[in-house]
Structure 1
Amino acid sequence: MIDTLLASPQYGEKWARHWLDVARYAEDQAHTFDVKPKTQAWRYRDWVIAAFNSDMPYDRFVKLQLAGDLLPDAPDDPFTRFAGLGFLGLGAEYYKNTAAAQAIAEELDDRVDTVTRGFLGVTVACARCHDHKFDPIPTRDYYSLAGIYMGTNMSDAPLAPAGEVKAFNEAQNRVKQAEEKLKKVRAEIKKQKGGFRAPVANAFALKALGDEIPKLKKEVPPAPPVAHVISGNGAGMKVYIRGNPATTGDAAPKGFLQVLPSAAAAGDKFTRLDLANAIASRDNPLTARVIVNRVWAWHFGRGLVSTPSNFGALGDRPSHPELLDWLAVNFVKNGWSMKWLHKQIMTTATYQLESRPDLDNDKVDAANVYLWRGARKRLEIEDWRDTLLAVSGTLDPTLGGPTFDLRDANARRRTVYAKVSRHELNGLLRLFDFPDANVTADKRTVTTVPQQQLFALNSEFMIGRAKAFAQRVEVLGATDAERVAAAYRIAYGRAPEAAELDLAVKFLARPAKPDDKLTRWQQYAQVLLASNELMYVD
């Protein structure tokens, strides 16, 4: 079964969403509207899904996101090579009108923080204004990393063959040239003060260009797909004293953290590729341990290190250090394979434990740090919404492609394909603890508030799923008892207990009230969909 699930395309959709939290994936900006919209941001999301489904080695996964355009052995396929660069290419951009230097400093901080916490589990951003108070990270190291990105560009990389890109650009240029001619003719007409022949000639030219431009626009082929990337190599920078761009200190040569190994020496020639190689090196003691711990946390709800993005002095100590080391070492030995790691975890007796409590164990380890029972977990919003669609028989399984708007109650695609906004996060996502996409997120908080159940009771989406579920079950039995049993099998994967079946049949037999907006079966279907049993994994 595990092999079948890992081979399913839905594996990538599920696990890519976890990484997108780390990558603080979003499709717009919260800090400025004065930037080109990232209309094809979803290509990075699709790249991550494809990477998980193909079991791309994690070291390769790291390198392609940091320096896919610079890799000497990068694949020829433009999508695989460039789309991963959206890891930083979709990062924060700030308004640069009155305080450009400060805005650039904030953008650099976003990159340093996302890279170091995301891949290394260290809080290098704490060294922006002074040496790190607790970890061996001097301020110079912060600016050595920031300098790698100082002067790089947010740009678009074509994902189509060169011939298609050339044809599109040439067609666009023809339209542009014709429009410029049209502007010139109009300007000449305005300057004319008399005479007959010139105005007539200009009028003919005006009509000819007016007829030509629509034809040229029709001849323009579809725009080639692009990836929103970060490109170029940074010029390096000086230390900002106390983080102030207006007060600079000594030069900070571009390079990696001094406390960690790097094959390339710090200096002017240090590139994004050198950074990627240093992070993805098997000699780096953090990279494998950090991702192994993340995967463990995504499975169990708590990492072996319970601060997944902070392995420093202020982070928690590992609860099982030998296990973390063993998994990390063998993860690398097995080709940095994520699917190998999942299988190792899911075939353990620990993973397969029930969440049944034990009073004696509770007295010793109420937080279940030592994993004496399974962890009861509430489904994240993506999993819960997708489950509602699947149970009601309305899930659209289409893979990949542009985003959709969750405000459309009839949208049926998996939630991983929904639009994510930094500026105005969708209300449903916010209500069910979706993380802030302005910063890298190592885990999600879990809240329980009345509005969540109000959504389950009153939302147009839930009402629609209840109607669809009732309609699906209607043909699965000749009696209410048979249909209830079918509904339990679909929703919960089990048969109803005698008391549950008796209660359901009695409820369904009651006459409808005059003011009921839903039939008895639709009401019952909504109860099943809104239940804790569907929302929680025991």
Structure 2
Amino acid sequence: MKRALALVVLAIILPSLAAAEVVDFVRDVRPIFEKHCYSCHGESKQKSGLRLDIKSEAFKGGDGYGELVVPGDVDDSPLIELVSSDDEDSRMPPGDHPLSPAEIATLTRWVEQNAVWPDGVDLAVLEDRLDHWSFKPLAKAIVPDVKNKAWPRSDVDRFVLARLESEGLIPAPPADPRIWLRRVTLDLTGLPPTPEDVDAFLQAVGDDDTAYEAVVDRLLQSPRYGERWAQHWLDVVRYADTHGFEVNTERPNAWPYRDYVIDAFNNDTPYDQFIREQIVGDALDQNAATGFLITASVLLPGQIGKDEPSKRLARQDSIDEIVVNITQTFLGLSVGCARCHDHKFDPISLHDYYAMQAFVAGVEYADRELDPAEAKSRRSESAKLKQQLTDLDHQLARFTPLAGSAAERPAINARLNTDRFAPVRTKRVRFTIHATNKLEPCIDELEIFDTAGNNLALDNRGATVTSSGNKTQKNRHELRFLNDGRYGNSRSWMSNQTGKGWVEIELAEAAEIERVAWGRDREGKFADRLATEYTIEVADENGAWTTVADASDRAPFDAGKSKPAAFSTEGLAADEAAQATKLHHRRTELEKRIASLAEIPLAFAGKFRTPDAIHLLRRGDPEQPEDLVPPAVLASFGSVSLPVDSPEQQRRAVLADWITDPANPLTARVMVNRIWQGHFGMGIVETASDFGRMGTKPTHPELLDWMARQFIDSGWSVKQMHRTIVLSATYRQSTQFDEDAFATDADGRLLWRFPTRRLDAETIRDSMLMTGGRLDFKMGGRGFNLFNQRGGLSGFTPVESFSGDGLRRMIYAHKVRRERDAVFGAFDCPDGGQSTARRIESTTPIQALNLFNSRFTLEQSEAFAMRVKSESNADDLEPQIRRVYQIALNREPAAEEVSDAIPVVRDYGLQSLCRALFNSNEFLFLP
């Protein structure tokens, strides 16, 4: 009604205004925007992505529609529709103060007059979103001069010290060598040093750094290093062994990616190569590495709605996860925020987002063969061996008891059945089925053998087939498959009658036959539709039918058996038994070899196909596609693009090249910051996966750029960056508290002391196992169970007592998404649902209860006590107590600690002391 009234008013006043002067934007239009619009669509706030105080932004429009104004076209300009609508829910501005008819008339005339908005009249200046420290090229950082010349051990220290001196702070004294050794060993390997490691280091340490360097080199060469640092990476990329969402089914072949990451860190794979392998490893003989692309949760085809819109939305979600994984992991950017609209803060447009999607639009969440060439070779060899196996079966069939003889013949099974009878001359054989174990009968191949062992039923020998009728599907269950010489359900005949049917084979010419062989599915995949009652007949020269075999003398049918009966020589003459036994041995060896060839290694590492056509989606809605978008990198950071029809693998290769280009300002910065965070608990940039404008500023920007350049110049060596950091005086500091420094820098971000922190969940569990002498150092392979099931909707009962593989390092546990380990999940262990750039460090009662009362702790305490008793070779309690401290805390106990422990150990056992130390801060925190 209001819109109608407004239009009436306009109809009255517009003619009189037509002759008026031209609408001036500054005089007539901007005051309307200032009065009614800027509070929601101005500098401080841009609801629905619309900003009206800057020309370039205003004409782009908001999130829900295209251009706000179409110059000269009132009907197609959303601005006029919005301000004049009679729908109060959509009219702008909202509330009880709409624009007056005169104001609407002014805006309408402005649009009619081509919406002239002169340049240079905006009251605000659009902020340059590229004017941000992380988007600029790496600075050529100059190592600063410092007052304290004696303290720095490296250029890292000079950058840190310069910042401390500018704040009037001094670094803490160096840590005791024993404490440094425990710190760096836990830090680099996730395990404590042994007492022998401590003794050797303390004997070797001197005034120079040689002993320290030797320790670091040894730790970096340890396979334990890769296991430790791979965990940091897996946190970021959301690795888990289930799919997530409500279904949360198992990914049985996800673990090869986890093993790849461990190997990559152990081998010090150059970081730029590490990136390329994870994006385009299928071109670099690193198929498992591409598991990175699909580590996130996903709904697979059978888990989504069957309607096309649901499928399109699910596909969009799956591609989005890949884009998010790539950009936040390698670039530290929240590109996923631009899925529905231009990024609110960073220079990333809606078009940029879909151009990034186009790079990975051919990636599917699925298993792939780890080595396609090897898999092809295995299948080829397997096919040859299966033919040999078939030949052996036919030879062994000569020793099958005759049908109708006194000997009971084997039970019917789904794979292979042989009916042997006295030689008979015929040209036609009919196989009639009277009953099945389920549904319509099915036969994958019917074979007829002469006395020389030749299969005369083959179509390539001129044999023809007829039947009572068949249930035909396209290229499946056709009558022609009955004698084509190929086995398996997909090459079988199926009757069109439940429980019965017949097939007849007419040979090219009459011959003397003695055996018929048949199976339901000789590949062993299906055991239903199996003939359980049947008759085999042959026709004489006059066409009269005679039964030569049937199911009456077979052992009773057993639905639980689908394999041939056990080999037996019962009833055979000595020479026949010897021949049969020899053939059977050969058959057994062939079966073993075929079984081993069938185990083709797979990895949940993505399959690649022709890319989807990627369109820009209005509001991110797959049902509102707009322009086709070709692959292109983020426009603000480069100009790399590809034609819309570019091959799938080329797309990913180009993307990887752009990310790893040393000129990219983000890649090296993000990674060295992650490494720094791993050593100090927090990165130079606190928001490790967000280097955008909403992320935190670096505490030491010059140091970050210096390290990034060193990283690139070293050949992208992660181990070299570790070495640089852990051998620094900054890392060697003690945790000594300083009240004045705390008043200036309470969070310790300036590193005036070493920032102690609690060990993560995996390190606590692994250290307890190692301390008790039970840790299994077996590497790689399928994960061990933390729960009674490996996936599903619910019902995850925790495993409480571990043995065998359950004593391996926790990184090798089967990780169920959204389910935390019963004991160590309380220690802020991520559940794989979201990327965890940095683990939080909470303190809760459940942590103490789990670590003190859990069955795991009790068992490891008992194992620790038994180990110490076996090593002490004495009944005296004091040596045992000392040994417990040496192993658990890497130090000798104080005299009062020994005196306090003796009555506890005497009254409650050594395991009580072990249990107490497992719960001590000294065991649980990085010193």
- Of residues 276, 279, 283 in structure 1, which corresponds to 2:663? 283
Superposition deviation, residue 369 in structure 1: 1.1
Q: Which residue in the other structure is 2:536 paired with?
A: 201
Indicate conservation of the 8 Å contact 2:758/2:924, yes or no: yes
**3-state DSSP class of the match of 1:3?**
helix
Q: Which residue in the other structure is 1:470 paired with?
A: 865
- Of residues 902, 905, 916 in structure 2, which corresponds to 1:508? 905
Indicate conservation of the 8 Å contact 2:361/2:612, yes or no: yes
Aligned partner letter, 1:350: T
Indicate conservation of the 8 Å contact 1:233/1:271, yes or no: no
- Cα distance change, pair 272–476 in 1 and its aligned pair in 2 (3 A): same
Indicate conservation of the 8 Å contact 1:179/1:213, yes or no: no
Cα separation, 2, equivalents of 1:461 and 1:250: 58
Indicate conservation of the 8 Å contact 2:368/2:605, yes or no: yes
Aligned: 1:102 with 2:494? no
Map 1:366-515; keep pairs closer than 5 Å: 366-406=746-786, 407=799, 409-410=801-802, 411-477=806-872, 478=874, 479-510=876-907
Cα separation, 1, equivalents of 2:881 and 2:357: 60
TM-score norm. by structure 2 comes to: 0.53
Map 1:352-367; keep pairs closer than 5 Å: 352-367=732-747
Q: Which residue in the other structure is 1:82 paired with?
A: 287
The structure with the greater share of residues assigned to helix is 1
The count of aligned residue pairs is: 520
- Cα distance change, pair 114–212 in 1 and its aligned pair in 2 (3 A): same
Q: Which residue in the other structure is 2:909 paired with?
A: 520
- Cα distance change, pair 66–204 in 1 and its aligned pair in 2 (3 A): farther
- Cα distance change, pair 262–413 in 1 and its aligned pair in 2 (3 A): farther
The structure with the greater share of residues assigned to strand is 2
Aligned: 1:273 with 2:608? no
Cα separation, 2, equivalents of 1:292 and 1:420: 27
- Of residues 231, 234, 237 in structure 2, which corresponds to 1:23? 237
Superposition deviation, residue 395 in structure 1: 0.7
Cα separation, 2, equivalents of 1:496 and 1:34: 48
Bigger CA drift: 151-160 or 118-127? Answer: 151-160
Cα separation, 2, equivalents of 1:205 and 1:93: 53
Aligned partner letter, 1:13: E
**3-state DSSP class of the match of 1:43?**
helix
Cα separation, 2, equivalents of 1:268 and 1:292: 36
Superposition deviation, residue 128 in structure 1: 0.7
Cα separation, 2, equivalents of 1:111 and 1:138: 18
Q: Which residue in the other structure is 1:516 paired with?
A: none
CA shift digits 1:476-518 (9 cap, x unpaired): 44321111111111011111011111101132234xxxxxxxx
Indicate conservation of the 8 Å contact 1:261/1:283, yes or no: no
Q: Which residue in the other structure is 1:306 paired with?
A: 686
Q: Which residue in the other structure is 1:9 paired with?
A: 223
Bigger CA drift: 87-96 or 327-336? Answer: 87-96
**3-state DSSP class of the match of 2:296?**
coil
Q: Which residue in the other structure is 1:190 paired with?
A: 499
- Cα distance change, pair 169–228 in 1 and its aligned pair in 2 (3 A): farther
Bigger CA drift: 420-429 or 135-144? Answer: 420-429
RMSD: 3.0
Bigger CA drift: 83-92 or 481-490? Answer: 83-92
Aligned partner letter, 1:224: I
- Cα distance change, pair 233–50 in 1 and its aligned pair in 2 (3 A): farther
- Cα distance change, pair 54–118 in 1 and its aligned pair in 2 (3 A): same
Aligned: 1:226 with 2:440? no
CA shift digits 1:221-280 (9 cap, x unpaired): 341111222223533411111111111222222121112235554644260111111111
CA shift digits 1:340-379 (9 cap, x unpaired): 0100111111111111110000000000111001011111
- Cα distance change, pair 211–443 in 1 and its aligned pair in 2 (3 A): closer
Superposition deviation, residue 425 in structure 1: 3.7
Map 1:310-349; keep pairs closer than 5 Å: 310-349=690-729
- Of residues 236, 253, 256 in structure 1, which corresponds to 2:633? 256
Q: Which residue in the other structure is 2:677 paired with?
A: 297
TM-score norm. by structure 1 comes to: 0.89
What 5-or-longer segments of structure 1 have no aligned partner?
A: 76-80, 511-518
Superposition deviation, residue 522 in structure 1: 1.5
CA shift digits 1:364-411 (9 cap, x unpaired): 000011100101111101001000001111111111121001325222
Superposition deviation, residue 103 in structure 1: 1.1
Indicate conservation of the 8 Å contact 2:642/2:651, yes or no: no
Map 1:81-160; keep pairs closer than 5 Å: 81-94=286-299, 95-97=303-305, 98=307, 99-160=310-371
Bigger CA drift: 176-185 or 383-392? Answer: 176-185
- Cα distance change, pair 272–233 in 1 and its aligned pair in 2 (3 A): farther
Q: Identity percentage over the alignment? A: 35
Cα separation, 2, equivalents of 1:2 and 1:49: 18
- Of residues 214, 234, 247 in structure 1, which corresponds to 2:624? 247
CA shift digits 1:158-209 (9 cap, x unpaired): 23524124345788999886442897467678343999x9941299699899
**3-state DSSP class of the match of 1:271?**
helix
Cα separation, 1, equivalents of 2:661 and 2:384: 43
- Cα distance change, pair 325–521 in 1 and its aligned pair in 2 (3 A): same
**3-state DSSP class of the match of 1:533?**
helix
Q: Which residue in the other structure is 2:489 paired with?
A: 180
- Of residues 40, 45, 66 in structure 1, which corresponds to 2:253? 40
- Cα distance change, pair 213–84 in 1 and its aligned pair in 2 (3 A): farther
- Cα distance change, pair 502–24 in 1 and its aligned pair in 2 (3 A): same
Indicate conservation of the 8 Å contact 2:768/2:860, yes or no: yes
Superposition deviation, residue 151 in structure 1: 4.0
Cα separation, 2, equivalents of 1:267 and 1:181: 38
- Which structure has the bigger radius of gyration? 2
Indicate conservation of the 8 Å contact 1:152/1:232, yes or no: yes
Indicate conservation of the 8 Å contact 2:768/2:918, yes or no: yes
Cα separation, 2, equivalents of 1:152 and 1:533: 47
Indicate conservation of the 8 Å contact 2:495/2:501, yes or no: no
Indicate conservation of the 8 Å contact 2:333/2:692, yes or no: yes
Q: Which residue in the other structure is 1:514 paired with?
A: none
**3-state DSSP class of the match of 1:157?**
strand
Cα separation, 2, equivalents of 1:444 and 1:324: 21
Cα separation, 2, equivalents of 1:204 and 1:315: 81
Bigger CA drift: 313-322 or 151-160? Answer: 151-160
Cα separation, 1, equivalents of 2:818 and 2:685: 32
Aligned partner letter, 1:150: A
Bigger CA drift: 121-130 or 417-426? Answer: 417-426
**3-state DSSP class of the match of 2:605?**
strand
Aligned partner letter, 1:117: Q
Aligned partner letter, 1:480: L
Cα separation, 1, equivalents of 2:741 and 2:549: 92
**3-state DSSP class of the match of 2:730?**
coil
- Cα distance change, pair 497–90 in 1 and its aligned pair in 2 (3 A): same
Aligned partner letter, 2:501: Q
- Of residues 163, 166, 171 in structure 1, which corresponds to 2:380? 166
Q: Which residue in the other structure is 2:108 paired with?
A: none
Aligned partner letter, 1:89: I
